Structures are given as C-alpha cells and as structure tokens.
Amino acid sequence: MSLNLGYESSRLWIGIFLAAFLLRLGYALVQPEEFWDEDEGVYVTMADNFLAGEGLIYTPYRKATFPPLYPFLLAGLLGAGLPLFPAARVFQALLGAFSCLLIGGVARRAFIGLGDRVSRGAGFLAAALLAVYPIAVIYPARLMTENLLIFLLPAAVLSLLKSISSPRPRFWILLGGVLIGLGVLSRPTLLPFLLMVLVWLAVAGYEKPAYPVRAGVFLLAFVLVILPWQIRNYRVLGAVVPITSAAGANLYIANNPAAVGGSMGYRYLMDAGVFHLGAGEDELAYNRHYRDRAFEFIRENPGRFLSLSLQRLIWFYHLDYHYRSPIVLVLGFQLMLLLALAGFWLARCSWKGALLPGMAILNFTLVHMVFLSEGRYRLPLIPFLLAFAALSLSSLFFRARDSASEK
C-alpha cells in the first residue's frame, strides 16, 4: 500500500530513508546489550511471561500495570528465535527511518495551503531533520515504547490528513483510527488525542462523508483495536480497565506532598515515605488508593497543583535531556523550539491541515502538565515540532530566493 507522499524525487527520499536507517542502526549495534532503564527490563519480563504461557503480565500482582503492545512485539521477536537486542534494534531502526518519510508526508499535506513549493520544501526538511535528530537517532538502541509511538503517531496523522482529499476517505479515516488505537496500546498518554481527532474531523473541511459517518468510522476502528485488551483485562481482573491499572498511581507520583514538578519517580517517593510499592497488593485497590490520594492532594492544594503543572510544563520543554546533553544539542533544541514557534504562526494560513499535528503536540503537553514529566516523554512530539520548524526554514528559503531573483 502506497501512502503517495507526493515527493518529487524518489531517489532523494530513498536517500533520506537509508541515511536515517544507517545512522540509527550504526549507533544501536555498537551499544552494550544491557538495559539503560528499569522499564526495559519490565517489557522483556512481560514478553518472557507471555511466551511461558502466563500472559502479558509483569508479576502475578501486576497483570495490567503496563500497556501491552510493545511487550507483545518483543515476544514476537523472541518467539521467532531471534536474539532480542540485535533484532529489536534493527526493527526499531527501520521504524525510525520510516517515521522520517511519514513526518515528511505530514508536513507536505498539513501546510499545502501555504503553497506547493513551501509545503514540499517543509516535507523534505522535516524528513531530513528527523533523520539526523540526535535523540531520534540514539533511541532505537533502547527497548522502550517511544520507538513504536514515534512511528504510529505520524502514520496516523498522515492517514487522517490524506483522507481529506482522497476518493476513499473512509479507508484513511479507518486506518487512522486503527493506528491511534495501536498507539494507545503502546502509551496510554495518547488517549486524549482521540477526542482531539473527533474535533478535527468536524472542522477539517471534508466534503463527504458526513461528520457522523466520519466520527463513527474513526471510533469503530479505534474501539475494535483496543477491545480485545479490554476484554482480556475484564477476564483477568474482573473489572473494566481501559488500558492499564496504573493511572491513579502515576497521577499520585506527580501530585503529592513531595512533588517538585520535575522528574521524580516512585523510587524517590518511596525513600521520601510518601509512596510504597507492595509486591503482593491487589493492583486495582492499589491504583484506587493512590488515585484518591492524588485527587485529595489536588482538591486541598489547588494553587500548588497549578504551580506544579506550570513547573511540569517548563520541565517538559526543558532544554536538556536528563541534564547530560552536550551544549551543541541543547542549543539545537532551543533553535528547533524557536523555529517551531515561528512555524505555528506561519501555519495559521493553513490551519485546517496544521491543526492536527498541532494537536499531537498539545496532547502530550497537556498530559504531562498533569502527570509526570520526563525528557523521554516528549520524543513522540519531536517529529511534529520538527515539521513546524521545517515550515519556517522552507518559508525563509523561498522568500530569500524570491528577493534575490527580483534584484
């Protein structure tokens, strides 16, 4: 199936794809075969448990604490007899390379209202920038869910954008719903984007089908993707659990008496005496307990909650990545943000298309103003920030060229 990105030179785009893949693979394959993050061990344990016939569980007391799609993918690689680290890293390098083409297509279609040459230039630059963006290059070496989402979300946005002008809009809306459903099964923080898409479908400028049909097709696809996991959760836990059983605990991690608005995980809170992680607790009761404590904290400290939300916003767009980046990378991120802000302003003339990638950025921004904010959580929105930054660069280039030709 061709996404028909509308690129002028297939050789050029093949070159971007290959450069992106080789950069990611070259970095990943020379890294030690060890976990960098606790969550990596969690996902591998879940994959091992699945292959052992115990289901997609972490422990007998944590059966739905983590989303299922990424561990299921790892289980597929292990079940095929492939060595996990090389196989997962190669696969993730491929996903990262494809994501460059996808975000190029998103920029091309989102900014078409600004003129064909500007939107084509923005598409090329967005793909090229993501191909060499440092964090996007190194992250396929890690066994983390963001590697799925950085592919699934641009693919979903591109499908929905394509549905506006396609003679088969229902197909592309359906595909968008499927991809967003898979994205939610990778990281539940994508869930609010569902409502944003429903708003976008109402204002995006479709001639047909009618909005109830568009919304119905999208929701049907989404529900059919996540329904098997919900049925499984009900059978295993005896309760309706949309995606994971950890939302309440995660909410408390970000909203508690020791919270500072920055990166503070549960281990720190355990040491501070405000959070505990009992191995034998009922996970639903555990989640409800901390959900209620989080709501109590927010209700009794509304000013503190607003202050923490603002600090989390600042932290989410922190200029570094876990404080360790070289100064050149920090300055590069600053520059990207400035160019993206300029791109937001330029995109107002093409707002119906630009609204959807903007909503993808907004989704993660709002979620992490309420929940824990960490550097890696912003990785799924980096392609969209680069798309808006590419719009600024493309507009600047063609304005400069036009001015030079007039002289």
For residue 398, what are the CA distances in angstroms to 118, 263, 286, 393? 7, 41, 57, 9
Q: And the tokens for 112?
A: 């078409």
Please tell me the distance from the alpha carbon of residue 360 to that of residue 157, in angstroms, as a whole number. Answer: 8
For residue 19, what are the CA distances in angstroms to 14, 82, 94, 143, 401? 8, 25, 11, 22, 28
Report the chain's mean pLDDT, rounded to a whole number.
90
Mean pLDDT calculated for residue range 256-275:
71
Per-residue burial over 324-355, b if 16 or more Cβ lie within 10 Å, else e, is ebeeebeebbeebeebbebbbebbeebebbbb
pLDDT band with cut points at 50, 70 and 90 for residue 2: very low
Name the burial class of residue 273, with classes exposed (0-12), middle (13-18) and buried (19+) by CB atoms within 10 angstroms of its CB: exposed
| Structure-model confidence comparison of residues 97 and 257, the more confident one | 97
Contacts of 172 by beta carbon, 8 Å cutoff, 6+ apart: 159, 160, 162, 163, 166
Mean pLDDT calculated for residue range 39-68:
93
pLDDT at 272: 62
pLDDT band with cut points at 50, 70 and 90 for residue 400: confident
Range name among 106-120, 166-180, 190-204, 366-380 with the lowest pLDDT average: 366-380
Cβ–Cβ under 8 Å, residues 189 and 374: no
Please tell me the distance from the alpha carbon of residue 317 to that of residue 338, in angstroms, as a whole number. Answer: 12
Closest CA relative to residue 147, chosen from 383, 324, 407: 383
List, for residues 78-89, the tens digit of each pLDDT value: 999 999 989 999
DSSP state string for 333-355? HHHHHHHHHHHHHHGGGGHHHHH
Domain residue ranges of the chain, discontinuous segments joined by +: 10-406
First-to-final CA distance of the chain: 46
| pLDDT score of 307 more than 90 | yes
Closest CA relative to residue 334, chosen from 316, 323, 320: 320
Mean pLDDT calculated for residue range 312-324:
71
Closest CA relative to residue 367, chosen from 217, 189, 166: 189
Per-residue burial over 298-318, b if 16 or more Cβ lie within 10 Å, else e, is beeeeeebeebbebbeebbbb
Q: And the tokens for 36?
A: 């960098």
Q: And the tokens for 385?
A: 């920030």
pLDDT at 372: 87
Tell me the pTM: 0.93
| pLDDT score of 221 more than 60 | yes
Cβ–Cβ under 8 Å, residues 188 and 154: no
| Structure-model confidence comparison of residues 39 and 48, the more confident one | 48
pLDDT band with cut points at 50, 70 and 90 for residue 93: very high
pLDDT band with cut points at 50, 70 and 90 for residue 7: very low
Please tell me the distance from the alpha carbon of residue 178 to that of residue 218, in angstroms, as a whole number. Answer: 8
List, for residues 370-385, the tens digit of each pLDDT value: 998 877 888 999 999 9
Tell me the β-bridge partners of 59: 62
Torsion angles phi and psi, residue 323, rounded to 5: 65, 0
| pLDDT score of 110 more than 90 | yes
